[in-house]
Amino acid sequence: MPTWEEKLADRIDPQLAAEIDKFETEITLRKQGKLDEKVFAETRLRRGCYGQRYDNGHRHDGIRSQELHYSTDLTKGPETLWDAPGMQRIKIPFGGLNPDQMDVLADLAEEYADGVLHVTTRQDFQYHFVHIDDTPAIMRRLAAVGITTREACGNSIRNVTACPLAGVCNTETFDVVPYARATAKFMLGHPDAQNFGRKFKIAFSGCRQEACGLVNMHDLGLIAVTRVENGRIRRGFEVYVGGGLGAVPHNAKLFEEFLPEEDLLPTTQAISRVFARLGEKKQRDRARIKFLIAKLGIEEFKRLVVEERQTLQADPRWTEYLDHAHQYTEKPLKPPTLLNGQRRPEGFDAWYATNVYRQKQAGYVVASITLPLGDLASWQMRELAGIARRFSGDSVRTTVEQNMVLRWVSETDLPDLYRDLMRIGLGAPGAGTIVDVTACPGTDTCKLGISSSRGLAGELRTRLAAKSYTLDEAVKNLRIKISGCFNSCGQHHIADMGFYGMSINVGNRKVPHFQVVLGGKWQDNAGAYGLPLVRVPSKRIPEVIDRVTDRYVRERAANESFQDFLKRVGKKDLRAMLEDLTHIPPYEVDPSFYSDWGDPREYTIGDMGVGECAGEVISVAQFALAAADGLVFQAQLHLESGDFPNADQLAYKAMLQAALSLVRVQWPEAPDEAGTTIQEFRQRFFETNIWGDRYAGSKFAQYLFIRHSAPPSHHTGDHAHRVVEEAQLFVDAVYRGHEILAERGTR
Amino acid sequence: MELCRFGIKLFAIDPAAMDAKKFVPIFHSWIQKQAVEKHQLIDVHDYSHIHHGPGILLVGHEGNFSTEMGEGIPGLVYFRKVAAGTFEDSLRASLKAVLQAADLVEADPVLEGRARFRRDELLFISNDRLLAPNNSATFEGLKPTLGKVFGAKAGFTAVRAGTRDRLTIRVTGVAY
């Protein structure tokens, strides 16, 4: 039987081929029982092969937990069955694609996945429902068109992202693409980037003020800048380190105002070495570089990197791409033209208004293709490849808003392009508007998902699209981003209106909820993070959107931004406005609250078992938890007003109060005293692993322990912000802790 | 040719009856009952937001079912992923699975008997560009086995001429 390995042998870069061969051997060894499941798990992750929901062989079907039967008990990682479908992530550096690559991506989605390509919030593609045995063939076929999955997951340097407008943007300093490409290539498989405790994300932006690469939320973010030296313009980068979203967002710190271009790669290498050497390895939740920088301080971190840089052996690859970078230009497919008086198809103007960007090169535009929930069918991708060949050539990009763009479209081609996009169902307007909701996979496929982010996103998209023509201009350009859990893959922190999923017990049932996070800033490279306001049942989130946007339209001052409006109104008032939406009708009155969007199953009810006596204790616990909630909210108000010491203190008290609520489940007379609460909480719930989040482990408990043992010696906005966020997550986790106790009936 | 990745699509008689969203609870109920023989049904995925996409997908280990809207023609499609022996064995198993699924849909009270599928005509879609590239040699090579399973009087016409497309064969006069 022919194989892809034989067929594509002469079309695959030998290094990539060897890498795939190695992985295929590891698959064989694992099947023979000669490779440990944990080792195999890490090795497959580093090739982008991720686990998927239910891969432990169990799934709750709405009535009971079913065991999923496969032909083998073999595992591909702890609690991860070999035959269970998985996810394959595919790295697309700076989102850059050509039509040949698009064709292959389409073919693979059909043959090995479910016929759908999903664009992620980091410009990757993902296939879902892939069998691990098929992954070497997928990798070979991708490699034959210059795409790799290597280090798409795992503790490695992930996809290097960049602004999709790089090279054609009106406000960029210079085109960052050659630098993003060189960084991705240089660091791929680099020995200095193989021993990280956690992942490492790099982003490039051409300018400071736009959203572009979202530099502020990356481990390493680079903004193009120039300097005049001796009458000559020098290219370089403003460098930021230690940003990140995750459960608690961190603002990146300025590392260097001007890093000359020739120092980009050696500095990236030196940062990698310092991170690999000093970064946390055991405690995963403290292992991102942001924690190392917070621990060392930016000046000490910088000193270490500079010192490390001086020890590096010179590498010709550091600079050999620079000549090319300076000469780099994209060759347009067609000559520039202007859109003058041509007949425009129906719907064209609305699409043009939101989906077309005029390039700095006169006569050319960038056309955005709005992908609902970041998805497109394989046949659409194939057709899109054909459309790209006709209108834009090799200059296609994926975006962090889960869309795609065609660049270098000659303006007069726009009506024809629009007709073609409409023909394949990809001509919807609304790119980058409130309709264009971003969401992570959530409970659809992610093992960590708590609520249905895609279900909610789909619902909001449908509702908002229906009234998009009547929406006020001020609202149209707001952004909604949704994560299925606190981990922020949907980037909820940087949305005007963000949401992250959680579950809350009501009686003996669970209700899917979302925490409402308002006031994040997408512009200025993810310029500000929003703060949690209130948790609302999933089914009432559309009402949250309506109320907040209606009030913004009604009460905003002239040209007042959404963020300024929120600040002026204040959290207290905003929360009061949404308070009634937190109420949940009893199941008997409205069971729809007890299932999630797009999923008719009752929301994880099957495992519940609550004793009579627990009911009483629950009410006491809920009372205490409500008090903790109130303290977090007060802390947020202080944070908002710039009173950082009080924000910190109240956030700490909220954690103590929440911990005490758990302690009092087992010891009702426990005194309200910090030392005792910590000690009892540690002994009863932390050390016994009763409370540890299945995936987050002890992360949230550590927030309390660390704050208790090391109160801040001086108060900063950054620190207070972090402690308030941590307190919110800790309280959320204590809610889950109560659920665990209720489920076990071990109160 | 030992093909094991391929699909069979049954066309809906009344396209308007294929209300995608109604299939979400239907497919979930199939998982609860593990309603399709010799299949481990795993999960349901809603792709109804994709234009002419897979619609509602029921993921199984052996194969996936979906309310496919390919080329704007709704139907019930089954894509086989795991071999059930020879190509002929796999084809017979797949036909059985898609027919059983069609029976289940047609009998489901949620759809009030409106969703019905043609059995006399269907699409066979090869889903393996290595073993079965879209060319006349593959078409001729597949016909004998297709004839054995779909009946001696069945007619076969290759559709979708693009070489990047999967080889797709319209089968008429199907007799079981």
Detail the DSSP E strand segments found in A648-740. Answer: none
Average pLDDT over residues A717-722: 90
Checking A561-565 for CB contacts under 8 A at 24+ apart, the result is: A562/A474, A562/A478, A562/A496, A562/A519, A563/A496, A563/A519, A563/A521, A563/A528
Average pLDDT over residues A480-502: 93
pLDDT in tens, A300-321: 999 999 999 999 999 999 999 9
Which residue among A66, A106, A458 places its CB closest to the CB of B49?
A458
Q: Is B17 at the interface with chain A, CB within 8 A?
A: no
pLDDT in tens, B32-59: 999 999 999 999 999 999 999 999 999 9
Spatial separation of the C-alpha atoms in residues A244 and A222, rounded to whole Å: 14
CB-based contact A255:A240 (threshold 8 Å):
yes
The CA-based angle A331-A332-A338, given to 5 degrees, is 150
Judge: A116–B128 Cβ closer than 8 Å, yes or no. Answer: no
Q: What is the pLDDT of residue A389?
A: 98
Q: Cα–Cα distances in Å, from A253 out to A80, A83, A290, A732, B16?
A: 38, 44, 9, 28, 57
Q: What is the pLDDT of residue A689?
A: 76
Judge: B53–A54 Cβ closer than 8 Å, yes or no. Answer: no
Q: What is the pLDDT of residue A619?
A: 46
Q: Is the pLDDT of residue A620 over 60?
A: no
Interface test with A, best of B5, B21, B61 (most A CBs within 10 A): B61
Q: Is the pLDDT of residue A609 over 70?
A: no
B72: CB partners within 8 A, 6+ apart: B52
Spatial separation of the C-alpha atoms in residues A414 and A406, rounded to whole Å: 11
β-bridge pairing A438-439 and A404-410: unpaired
Instruction: Give the confidence band of A622 by pLDDT, cuts at 50, 70, 90.
Output: low
CB-based contact A180:A187 (threshold 8 Å):
no
Partnered with residue A234 across adjacent β-strands are A227
* B49 interaction partners in chain A (CB closer than 8 Å): 372-373, 375, 458, 461
Would you call A627 exposed, middle or buried from its count of C-beta atoms within 10 A (0-12, 13-18, 19+)? middle
A459: CB partners within 8 A, 6+ apart: A542, A597, A598
Q: Is the pLDDT of residue A71 over 70?
A: yes
Judge: B49–A375 Cβ closer than 8 Å, yes or no. Answer: yes
Backbone angles phi, psi at A165, to 5 degrees: -95, 0
Average pLDDT over residues B72-81: 93
Residue of A nearest to B26 (CA): A600
Spatial separation of the C-alpha atoms in residues A116 and A398, rounded to whole Å: 15
Secondary structure of residue A37 in the 3-state scheme: helix
Q: What is the pLDDT of residue A300?
A: 97
Report CA B93 to chain centroid distance, whole Å: 12
Judge: B51–A85 Cβ closer than 8 Å, yes or no. Answer: no
Judge: A59–B42 Cβ closer than 8 Å, yes or no. Answer: yes
Judge: B47–A116 Cβ closer than 8 Å, yes or no. Answer: yes
Q: What is the pLDDT of residue A634?
A: 79
Q: What is the pLDDT of residue A669?
A: 73
Transcribe A395-446 into DSSP letters.
-EEE-TTS-EEEEEEEGGGHHHHHHHHHHTT-----TTSTTS-EE--GGGT-
* B51 interaction partners in chain A (CB closer than 8 Å): 377, 380, 424-426
Higher confidence at residue B41 or residue A638? B41
Judge: A425–B25 Cβ closer than 8 Å, yes or no. Answer: no
Judge: B54–A377 Cβ closer than 8 Å, yes or no. Answer: yes
Average pLDDT over residues A724-743: 83
H, E, C per residue of A312-350: CCCCHHHCCCHHHHHHCCCCCCCCCCCCCCCCCCCCHHH
Spatial separation of the C-alpha atoms in residues A359 and A357, rounded to whole Å: 6
Residue of A nearest to B49 (CA): A372
Where residue B22 falls (left for φ over 0; alpha for ψ -120 to 50; beta otherwise) is alpha
A277: CB partners within 8 A, 6+ apart: none
Judge: B131–A1 Cβ closer than 8 Å, yes or no. Answer: yes
Q: What is the pLDDT of residue A625?
A: 73
Judge: B128–A461 Cβ closer than 8 Å, yes or no. Answer: no
Secondary structure of residue A121 in the 3-state scheme: coil
Where residue A624 falls (left for φ over 0; alpha for ψ -120 to 50; beta otherwise) is alpha
Q: b/e per residue, A646-668, with b = 16+ CB within 10 A?
A: bbbbbbbbbbbbbbbbbbbbeee
Spatial separation of the C-alpha atoms in residues A376 and A396, rounded to whole Å: 15
Q: Which structure tokens are listed for A535? A: 């948790």
Spatial separation of the C-alpha atoms in residues A486 and A493, rounded to whole Å: 10
Backbone angles phi, psi at A740, to 5 degrees: -60, -45
Q: Which structure tokens are listed for B94? A: 């797949």
Spatial separation of the C-alpha atoms in residues A17 and A19, rounded to whole Å: 5
* A606 interaction partners in chain B (CB closer than 8 Å): none
DSSP class of residue B163 equals: T
Judge: A62–B28 Cβ closer than 8 Å, yes or no. Answer: yes
Task: Give the range among A140-154, A224-238, A403-417, A606-620 with minimum mean pLDDT.
Answer: A606-620
CB-based contact A360:A329 (threshold 8 Å):
no
Q: What is the pLDDT of residue A692?
A: 67
Residue of B nearest to A600 (CA): B25
pLDDT in tens, A356-393: 999 999 999 999 999 999 999 999 999 999 999 999 99
Q: Is B130 at the interface with chain A, CB within 8 A?
A: yes
Judge: B53–A375 Cβ closer than 8 Å, yes or no. Answer: yes
Average pLDDT over residues A551-578: 94
CB-based contact A294:A718 (threshold 8 Å):
no
Q: Is the pLDDT of residue A667 over 90?
A: no
Q: Is B111 at the interface with chain A, CB within 8 A?
A: no
CA–CA min distance A169, chain B (Å): 30
Report CA A124 to chain centroid distance, whole Å: 11
* A53 interaction partners in chain B (CB closer than 8 Å): 43
The mean of the pLDDT values for chain A is 91
Partnered with residue A504 across adjacent β-strands are A511
B 56-85 residues with CB < 8 A to A: 57, 59, 61, 64, 70, 81
Judge: A377–B129 Cβ closer than 8 Å, yes or no. Answer: no
Q: Which structure tokens are listed for A470? A: 């009547």
Average pLDDT over residues A695-722: 87
Q: Is the pLDDT of residue A655 over 80?
A: yes
Task: Give the range among A358-372, A420-434, A607-621 with minimum mean pLDDT.
Answer: A607-621
Transcribe A159-186 into DSSP letters.
PPEE-TTTTT-SS-SS--HHHHHHHHHH
Transcribe A56-120 into DSSP letters.
TSEEE-SSSEEEPP-S---EEETTEETTS-EEEEE--GGGEE-HHHHHHHHHHHHHHSSSEEEE-
pLDDT in tens, A265-292: 999 999 999 999 999 987 777 899 999 9
Q: What is the pLDDT of residue A612?
A: 24
CB atoms within 10 A of CB A550: 12
Average pLDDT over residues A457-484: 93
Q: What is the pLDDT of residue B71?
A: 74
* A445 interaction partners in chain B (CB closer than 8 Å): 45
Q: Is B32 at the interface with chain A, CB within 8 A?
A: yes
Which residue among B40, B50, B70 places its CB closest to the CB of A376?
B50
Q: Is the pLDDT of residue A327 over 70?
A: yes
* A103 interaction partners in chain B (CB closer than 8 Å): 164
Spatial separation of the C-alpha atoms in residues A195 and A201, rounded to whole Å: 15
A175: CB partners within 8 A, 6+ apart: A166, A167, A206, A328
- Position of tokens 């210059």? A146
Q: Which structure tokens are listed for A271? A: 């940062």
Spatial separation of the C-alpha atoms in residues A98 and A77, rounded to whole Å: 35
Which residue among B31, B52, B165 places its CB closest to the CB of A377?
B52
Report CA A365 to chain centroid distance, whole Å: 28
Judge: B166–A110 Cβ closer than 8 Å, yes or no. Answer: yes
Query: Roughly how many angstroms between the first and final C-alpha of chain B, as a whole number?
Result: 22
Percent of chain B with pLDDT over 70: 99
Amino acid letter at A81? Answer: L
Q: What is the pLDDT of residue A705?
A: 93
CB-based contact A166:A408 (threshold 8 Å):
no
Q: What is the pLDDT of residue A522?
A: 86
CB-based contact A413:A348 (threshold 8 Å):
no
pLDDT in tens, A73-97: 999 999 899 999 999 999 999 999 9
* B161 interaction partners in chain A (CB closer than 8 Å): none
Instruction: Give the confidence band of A697 by pLDDT, cuts at 50, 70, 90.
Output: low
Task: Give the range among A243-252, B84-93, B140-149 with minimum mean pLDDT.
Answer: A243-252
* B40 interaction partners in chain A (CB closer than 8 Å): 68-70
Secondary structure of residue A282 in the 3-state scheme: coil
Which residue among A70, A131, A598 places its CB closest to the CB of B40?
A70
Q: Cα–Cα distances in Å, from A706 out to A298, A645, A689, A723?
A: 20, 17, 18, 10
CA–CA min distance A111, chain B (Å): 6
Q: Cα–Cα distances in Å, from A7 out to A10, A60, A491, B88, B163?
A: 8, 43, 41, 26, 17
pLDDT in tens, B86-117: 999 999 999 999 999 999 999 999 999 999 99
Q: Is B137 at the interface with chain A, CB within 8 A?
A: no
Residue of A nearest to B58 (CA): A114
Q: Is B136 at the interface with chain A, CB within 8 A?
A: no
Higher confidence at residue A741 or residue B67? B67
* B45 interaction partners in chain A (CB closer than 8 Å): 114, 128-129, 444-445
Q: Is B160 at the interface with chain A, CB within 8 A?
A: no
Q: What is the pLDDT of residue A90?
A: 98
